[in-house]
Chain A
Amino acid sequence: MVLKYLIRENSYYDSVTLMIITREVKKIEGVKEVIVGMGTELNKELTGNLNLLTPELQKITPNDFFISLDSVDDNIAKKAFAFVDELLSKKKAESEDYQPSTFESALKYMPDANLVLISLPGKYAVREAKNALLNDKHVMLFSDNVPLEEEIDLKKLAKQRRLLMMGPDCGTAIINHVALAFSNVIRKGPIGIVGASGTGIQEVTVMIDKLGSGISQAIGTGGRDLKAKVGGIMMIEGLKALQNDPLTEVIVLISKPPDKEVARKVLSILKERQKPSVVYFAGGDPEVIKEYGSVPGLSLEDTARKAVAIAKGMSIKDFTGFTVTNINKIIQEETKKLNKKQRYIRGLYTGGTLCDEAMIILSALVGDIYSNIPLKPEGKLSDINKSYRHSLIDFGDDEFTRGKPHPMIDPYVRQERILSEVKDREIAIILMDFVLGFGSNSDPVGEMIPYIKKARKIAAKDGRHICMISSVCGTEADPQSLIGQEKKLKEEGVIVMPSNAQAVRLAAAIVLSRRNSQ
């Protein structure tokens, strides 16, 4: 073991850039372990876990850049350090544009800027967001770890100045057909969306596109907007803007379970104007939505289907089935391949709302579901790294992402997890989402394929078949190409369903069919 490190004080690079560099350096032959990062407490902890921490590295601050590397010899270490510099300078050369060092100087450079997109570490992000609002700029705040009280202050300030304050923790928005942060390329159309959920917006917009319609705007609010304390400030402001927007004919609202009073407040504003609307409040009571004259969405796909039906003047029907024609054959064939002990579903999710949706659909069909983000407190996994019975994991939740890029960018945690899941002899089905679009990994399926193969080999050693079911949230216009991503999965024998809801229903149908055949 040759342990080498390098520290550069006061040199800052963002976490995604450094993750990409770490992965490139790991590919060098002779490099055993490496971390390229900023000196945050979390990075120091990770460095310690990999036995790469030295007393010097222990002293560095989050403002300091470092490389710590274990390699077979000195030459490899030298080569790796030079490669890091090469990648960093390449990065600089790519961004030849003038880069002002503060918001104020950026404003002088682009005084007519109308939106500020902020993804700085939470504690610095609030200050910059406030500054942007005070300068009459709309804000999309991607950063999380912002205290609720600060979110309320920012949203109150935005409301007072009649500006958008999307976030904190707002991952998805499409404004004037520009895909911001994690968003898909969706055609133009008459459906306007306000959503308190990133992947919820992604799945609904993608389904709208697949059904041949399109969107006017998709406004994100951040996941806590409909909590009692925040009071739906930004959902209401966004909703009013869509009501006044001549290009929006149908309004869609998406949220995780909202506070009941806030839900009623939002629904009553929706009722005031004559635009038809579809509302998906995950796990909420459809009757309350009907009471206010809106159409309840039963799943994200059903929400999109109903919105498109309204936009096209077609009749509105509940959709809780399949659009795949040979579905019964698939269920029968997969059931046959499973042995008697195989009975559980393991969902490995990168999208939080997709995971929520899956738990809602599954719990109604197969019973109790365990998770790191459970529907009920008793469903909480005692150890998030160990699944139990039917378990669905959201790898995008804070417990997995602290100080690391989101699993839609860095699939590492899911890659490792699929290998440990398949060792469990009671599992029948692995359920996975793949989210495409700007912001996401350039080849999310390609990143998982080697691990899908390894997982299959592990199970095959003792004669087990694992049924793998997926859905790909993306459009053909997305940078990753939907068809190409789906093709790769099919080639590995992974069943690809047209939506998350259908993927989940198929998983349930196979488990129930297995149960009934015993």
Chain B
Amino acid sequence: MTRINELFQEELKIINMGLESFNENLKKQNVKTVQVDWKPPTRRNKKMLSLLDKLK
């Protein structure tokens, strides 16, 4: 069985990154979620992120 078929048998637990309205809609459906309080990286962080990406 693939992981996709395993997912079909599990309870959905969702990390939401972006539009909070999506998270609110999931909560209305009684889905366990966590909303990431995402912010665009600052200029300094951007440099750091691109260096980290190169290491991956």
Residues of A that sit less than 8 Å from B by CB: 10, 12, 14-17, 62-63, 91, 94-95, 97-103, 106-107, 109-110, 112-121, 124-125, 127-128, 132, 136-138, 142-143, 161-164, 175-176, 178-181, 216-217, 237-238, 240-241, 244-245, 247, 438-439, 479
- Further 15 A-B residue pairs, CB within 8 A, beyond A101-B39, A163-B4: A14-B18, A63-B39, A63-B42, A91-B20, A99-B36, A101-B36, A101-B37, A113-B14, A118-B18, A119-B22, A124-B40, A132-B15, A142-B18, A176-B7, A217-B8
In the complex, which residues 1-46 of chain B have their Cβ closer than 8 Å to any Cβ of chain A? 1-5, 7-8, 10-26, 28-29, 31-32, 34-42
Chain A CB within 8 A of B48 CB: no
- Give the B interface residue count (CB, 8 A): 39
Tell me if B29 and A110 are in contact (CB < 8 A).
no
Write out the residue numbers on chain B whose beta carbons fall within 8 Å of the beta carbon of A106: 15, 17, 34, 36
> What are 13 pairs between A and B in contact, CB < 8 Å?
A63-B40, A95-B35, A99-B35, A103-B36, A113-B34, A115-B13, A117-B17, A119-B18, A124-B38, A125-B18, A132-B15, A180-B26, A244-B1
Tell me if A137 and B18 are in contact (CB < 8 A).
no
Q: Is the interface of B mostly helix, strand, loop or mixed?
A: mixed
Residues of B that sit less than 8 Å from A by CB: 1-5, 7-8, 10-26, 28-29, 31-32, 34-42, 49, 53
Q: Report the separation of the CA atoms of residues A181 and B23 in the bound assembly, to the nearest whole angstrom.
A: 9
Q: Report the separation of the CA atoms of residues A106 and B13 in the bound assembly, to the nearest whole angstrom.
A: 12
Tell me if A16 and B21 are in contact (CB < 8 A).
yes
Write out the residue numbers on chain B whose beta carbons fall within 8 Å of the beta carbon of A237: 2, 4
Distance (whole angstroms) from the CB of B33 to the closest CB of chain A: 8
Tell me if A439 and B10 are in contact (CB < 8 A).
no
Write out the residue numbers on chain B whose beta carbons fall within 8 Å of the beta carbon of A163: 3-4
* Closest Cβ neighbor of B36 among chain A residues: A106
Distance (whole angstroms) from the CB of B53 to the closest CB of chain A: 7
Q: Report the separation of the CA atoms of residues A245 and B6 in the bound assembly, to the nearest whole angstrom.
A: 10
Write out the residue numbers on chain B whose beta carbons fall within 8 Å of the beta carbon of A119: 16-19, 22
Q: Which 7 A-B pairs have the closest CB atoms?
A: A119-B18, A99-B37, A241-B4, A438-B25, A12-B39, A162-B3, A119-B19
Q: Report the separation of the CA atoms of residues A114 and B36 in the bound assembly, to the nearest whole angstrom.
A: 15
- Asked, given contacts A16-B19, A100-B34, A238-B4, whether A117 binds B11 with beta carbons under 8 Å apart, the answer is no
- Asked, given contacts A106-B15, A238-B4, whether A114 binds B10 with beta carbons under 8 Å apart, the answer is yes
- Asked, given contacts A114-B7, A161-B3, whether A120 binds B12 with beta carbons under 8 Å apart, the answer is no
Write out the residue numbers on chain A whose beta carbons fall within 8 Å of the beta carbon of B15: 103, 106-107, 110, 113, 115-117, 132, 137
Q: Report the separation of the CA atoms of residues A114 and B31 in the bound assembly, to the nearest whole angstrom.
A: 12
Tell me if A100 and B7 are in contact (CB < 8 A).
no
Q: Report the separation of the CA atoms of residues A91 and B20 in the bound assembly, to the nearest whole angstrom.
A: 10
Write out the residue numbers on chain A whose beta carbons fall within 8 Å of the beta carbon of B53: 127
Q: Report the separation of the CA atoms of residues A27 and B25 in the bound assembly, to the nearest whole angstrom.
A: 26
Tell me if A241 and B13 are in contact (CB < 8 A).
no
* Closest Cβ neighbor of B11 among chain A residues: A176
Q: Report the separation of the CA atoms of residues A121 and B19 in the bound assembly, to the nearest whole angstrom.
A: 10
Distance (whole angstroms) from the CB of A385 to the closest CB of chain B: 27
Q: Report the separation of the CA atoms of residues A102 and B20 in the bound assembly, to the nearest whole angstrom.
A: 15
Q: Give the interface centre of B21, B25, B35, B36 by most chain A CB atoms within 10 Å.
A: B36
Write out the residue numbers on chain A whose beta carbons fall within 8 Å of the beta carbon of B42: 10, 63
Q: Report the separation of the CA atoms of residues A164 and B2 in the bound assembly, to the nearest whole angstrom.
A: 10
User: Which listed residue (B1, B12, B35, B39) contacts A97, Cβ 8 A?
Assistant: B35
Distance (whole angstroms) from the CB of A443 to the closest CB of chain B: 15
Write out the residue numbers on chain A whose beta carbons fall within 8 Å of the beta carbon of B4: 138, 162-164, 237-238, 241
* Closest Cβ neighbor of B2 among chain A residues: A162
Tell me if A14 and B19 are in contact (CB < 8 A).
yes
* Closest Cβ neighbor of B49 among chain A residues: A127
* Closest Cβ neighbor of B38 among chain A residues: A120
* Closest Cβ neighbor of A237 among chain B residues: B4
Write out the residue numbers on chain B whose beta carbons fall within 8 Å of the beta carbon of A102: 36, 38
Q: Report the separation of the CA atoms of residues A241 and B24 in the bound assembly, to the nearest whole angstrom.
A: 29
Write out the residue numbers on chain A whose beta carbons fall within 8 Å of the beta carbon of B24: 94
Tell me if A143 and B36 are in contact (CB < 8 A).
no
Tell me if A245 and B8 are in contact (CB < 8 A).
yes
Q: Report the separation of the CA atoms of residues A391 and B21 in the bound assembly, to the nearest whole angstrom.
A: 33
Tell me if B17 and A244 are in contact (CB < 8 A).
no
Q: Report the separation of the CA atoms of residues A161 and B11 in the bound assembly, to the nearest whole angstrom.
A: 20
Q: Report the separation of the CA atoms of residues A103 and B15 in the bound assembly, to the nearest whole angstrom.
A: 8
